[in-house]
Amino acid sequence: MPVYVDVSRCIGCRSCEVACKRVHSGRSYMEVKVIDSRASVPVTCHHCEVATCTMACFSQALSKDGERTAFDIHKCTGCGLCALACPFGVVWTDKWAHKCDLCKGLESPICVITCPAQALSLDPDAAPKRARTRAAAAVALAQGDKR
Partner 1 sequence: MISLDTTKCIGCCSCSNVCPNKNITKEDLGDKRTIRYKKCSEFCDICVESCPGKALILAAQGEDVEIAFDLVRCTVCGEPFATGKMLDRIRSSVPEDLRVDSSGQSWVEICPMCRRGLERERAARPVINSRA
Binding site for partner 1 (CB under 8 A): 5, 7-8, 31, 33, 35-36, 38-41, 43, 50, 52, 55-56, 58-59, 77-81, 83-93, 95-96
Nearer to partner 1, 92 or 140 (CB): 92
Minimum distance from residue 40 beta carbon to partner 1 (Å): 8
Burial of 130: CB neighbours in 10 Å, binned 0-12, 13-18, 19+: middle
Nearer to partner 1, 41 or 70 (CB): 41
Residues in contact with 63: Cβ distance below 8 Å, sequence separation at least 6, in sequence order = 54, 57, 69, 70, 72
Q: How do 39-43 and 120-121 pair as beta strands?
A: unpaired
Residue from 92, 89, 90, 95 nearest 77 by CA = 95
Nearer to partner 1, 18 or 43 (CB): 43
Minimum distance from residue 94 beta carbon to partner 1 (Å): 9
Q: Is there a contact between 81 and 60 (Cβ–Cβ < 8 Å)?
A: no
Minimum distance from residue 83 beta carbon to partner 1 (Å): 5
Instruction: Tell me the Cα Rg of the chain.
Output: 18
Nearer to partner 1, 55 or 106 (CB): 55
